[in-house]
Structure 1
């Protein structure tokens, strides 16, 4: 870095901009490659262009220097192009400055003729060059690669040196664009819901807390967008969605991040079965954008064109443990079953909590192909409506693919009396020390009291959907994931 700082000083002392406001760029590297792909070995064109790029390779010989320039491209695939600098074309002083001042990682500007070298390499033969941005830190050794910690902590370096890192950015953008296009096709409108909230709700999770000085008011960051979207449906926006960041003050691992992106959408006059069709269409449309309906996971190959089965919570758990499990199965017996299957249990669980936990630990990891897990006990989802045929169940499902939950949906609870009872019970749990319980949201209940139409709702984890189609962990799918401070 000292050497590079010295070179920066030499540029400035010579009256040369080390970081000019701009250069006379006429073409991107990808445009040059596309336009002149027809050239054969040792061809010339007479066309003079101005190009820019980061120097990722340089070979300085006597009278002829070679450099490989790189740019990100429009699809994440890095484009490279050779630049040639000869004594005869740029003169002794310019060539000497190139050799003395240019390092790997610098952005440079080359003006010259498009040619093909004697070996058939598409190139620009320079007639002049200029520094576009002097790099003060050296690039990592490209062929050695980066370790995972460096990749996520210094993502900007990762993007420089790995095509896969840039491709992830474009893949994720294509996935979110596909989701929006599918929803717009069904006449959904995108809205924005508050990130700062007085009362956290819409999910069972521990929130981040903050303080609003203007109101001298304790606030939380949203853990879900659900309750505000339902307010919009009450107001007459029949099909509505929000795609954005939510924040949960919980664990960090290969499938969980404290901040992540969700899609939530709500549709008046729909139920859990309508929303299952919406979910399937969303994911298959994404598959077509990514380019495959067959995905590879650690659990095996998954064909999304196959059957999307439905599996009840109680029948599924019963089959897995080899005995019938019902809403009347005693808690003591459920805890014994958990112990027998190596599940860490808690004597403070309710019977319904034990059923859900056992299903998640014993059954869920075995569900590789797309499966809608439905007919949950009521406490599993306090915002879902009672089952139309069995009051001891609710109308809700989780979509499991590759042994992992990817999304969820409800026939939404719109009865304000039952909703108040559910949220009151959640508040009781919060008062007893449950950090993940919901709070009683009086304004949300007031909205329901004006009359909400029957509706269905979806929650879809965008990061986990990207993970499904790319096969990487959550830290790779998030461009700048939250990390411990360096040296922590």
Structure 2
């Protein structure tokens, strides 16, 4: 049996657990109510006066010797100093405290407030309880937890010792809550759609496959909720959204994690322009009310979230930044020369749609630092979007980019069942030629469209990436609590 290794100090702490139990003390404590948050104590310090108060949290540091010690107590709201003196501690005795309380322990205390000579707000501890005895030692206080690999694998320690990390995830939570409130106040209904799906549809991506034993059939973790949400429009709902987990069996890098969070919404009787207005208004409202910063530094890049966002077309962007037209890339020989010239390695089949996507992703997308809408996409890379009446080879689609990465994707939704069936057929043919990310035929979705889906606009926003940008961090792992990592052979 493999056991977690402990160093000498940690083994000593483990031994203390047995000693506490022999003394009739539960080293993993009990409930501890009527405690005040450390931030509340600091804010209402003068009002609390000489009242006896209770606080609880983790001991982050212990300093001092002899007959008195100072401790730093941390909870979710902040930190406060504790003063433990042999003359004041009622039970347990001071010597017991010195022996059994270590940094990392979770404790409850009772005492009165005072200000030290250095003007530090402090609790003079009269009583103390062990609520959870820590075996592992905290990282060295001056450097904290800095190893990126360990920070992601042991996020619980990262949150414990790096307050700025916890603050980032608190901000993420507020952003998601704000998005939810913003939409519900405007009449959108929040819904839930299946995560296990018989057909992986709604996006171009490689799915994760699992097997349902009772049904004896393979199912897919959803790559997008799109086709189910649009079925709801057919059923009569007019404004729906879902903040959802989606899964794509793709590589991991600074902007990709195989499990990620999206917000998708659909609005009957709207269109691409309605979605563009909604996207800009939602993001700017988020910037104003949650982050209060219209400019964000992301590494050396300065991103300006100001109205109006820039706008361009797909063709214009390809010509400007890649120096090639969409029509030129239809020539197989020229396309291969351009791919080689750009230094692009094609992992996918050499389909026109894949070539266009790769050139755009590598040569064009990184140039959009300030928020920019790119619209009027080629139909070949947009199988679920409505065609432009004046340019049938283009569709009513935009993507929003900022900081050099994609933030949002939106369509005027395709509601013609015959056109949709034909596009699914083309996707199936591409899959047969080796493009395993192409979509499958979804006959039930086509059947739903045959009942009639109202004209509609749809929008998807990558929550992880949006939080990245608004916090100014350069890796998606900094905004996902538990990012996927390669499993290690020992003690994972």
Using the size of structure 2 for normalisation, the TM-score is 0.93
Determine the structure 2 residue equivalent to 1:62: 66
Determine the structure 1 residue equivalent to 2:283: 283
CA distance 1:468–1:346, shift in 2 (3 Å): closer
1:280 aligned counterpart, secondary structure: helix
1:50 equivalent among 46, 51, 54: 54
Q: Separation in 2 of the partners of 1:98 and 1:346?
A: 61
Contact kept, 8 Å, 1:338 with 1:358, in 2: the verdict is: yes
Matched, 1:421 2:422: yes
**1:421-460 alignment, distance < 5 Å:** 421-460=422-461
Determine the structure 1 residue equivalent to 2:365: 364
Deviating more after overlay: 118-127 vs 254-263: 118-127
CA distance 1:87–1:445, shift in 2 (3 Å): same
Q: Separation in 1 of the partners of 2:341 and 2:79?
A: 58
CA distance 1:25–1:2, shift in 2 (3 Å): farther
CA distance 1:25–1:139, shift in 2 (3 Å): farther
1:277 aligned counterpart, secondary structure: helix
1:405 aligned counterpart, secondary structure: strand
CA distance 1:420–1:398, shift in 2 (3 Å): same
Shift of 1:345: 5.2
Map Cα deviations across residues 399-439 of structure 1 (whole Å, 9 max, x no partner): 11121111110111000011011111112222333221111
CA distance 1:87–1:250, shift in 2 (3 Å): same
Using the size of structure 1 for normalisation, the TM-score is 0.93
Q: Separation in 2 of the partners of 1:129 and 1:438?
A: 62
RMSD across aligned C-alpha pairs, in angstroms?
2.0
Shift of 1:306: 4.6
Matched, 1:12 2:21: yes
Map Cα deviations across residues 176-222 of structure 1 (whole Å, 9 max, x no partner): 11211221232111000100111110001000000111111111100
Contact kept, 8 Å, 2:35 with 2:56, in 1: the verdict is: no
1:142 aligned counterpart, secondary structure: coil
Map Cα deviations across residues 299-341 of structure 1 (whole Å, 9 max, x no partner): 6212221542222222222233446553785232233233333
1:150 aligned counterpart, secondary structure: helix
CA distance 1:190–1:148, shift in 2 (3 Å): same
Q: Separation in 1 of the partners of 2:248 and 2:385?
A: 21
Determine the structure 2 residue equivalent to 1:295: 296
Determine the structure 2 residue equivalent to 1:483: 485
Q: Separation in 2 of the partners of 1:324 and 1:157?
A: 51
**1:72-471 alignment, distance < 5 Å:** 72-73=76-77, 79-90=78-89, 94-146=93-145, 147-288=147-288, 289-298=290-299, 300-322=301-323, 325-326=326-327, 330-344=331-345, 349-471=350-472
Q: Separation in 2 of the partners of 1:323 and 1:66?
A: 67
CA distance 1:257–1:406, shift in 2 (3 Å): same
Q: Separation in 2 of the partners of 1:399 and 1:5?
A: 53
Map Cα deviations across residues 39-70 of structure 1 (whole Å, 9 max, x no partner): 9xxxxx43111111211111242222221111
Q: Separation in 2 of the partners of 1:82 and 1:49?
A: 14
Q: Separation in 2 of the partners of 1:246 and 1:35?
A: 44
Contact kept, 8 Å, 1:85 with 1:125, in 2: the verdict is: yes
Q: Separation in 1 of the partners of 2:178 and 2:318?
A: 35
Shift of 1:469: 1.0
Unmatched 5+ stretches in structure 1:
40-44, 74-78
Q: Separation in 2 of the partners of 1:300 and 1:328?
A: 31
Q: Separation in 2 of the partners of 1:81 and 1:378?
A: 60
Q: Separation in 1 of the partners of 2:353 and 2:224?
A: 23
CA distance 1:62–1:394, shift in 2 (3 Å): same
Unmatched 5+ stretches in structure 2:
1-9
Q: Separation in 1 of the partners of 2:417 and 2:186?
A: 28
Q: Separation in 1 of the partners of 2:51 and 2:339?
A: 74
Shift of 1:352: 4.5
Q: How many residues align?
A: 478
Shift of 1:346: 8.1
1:200 aligned counterpart, secondary structure: coil
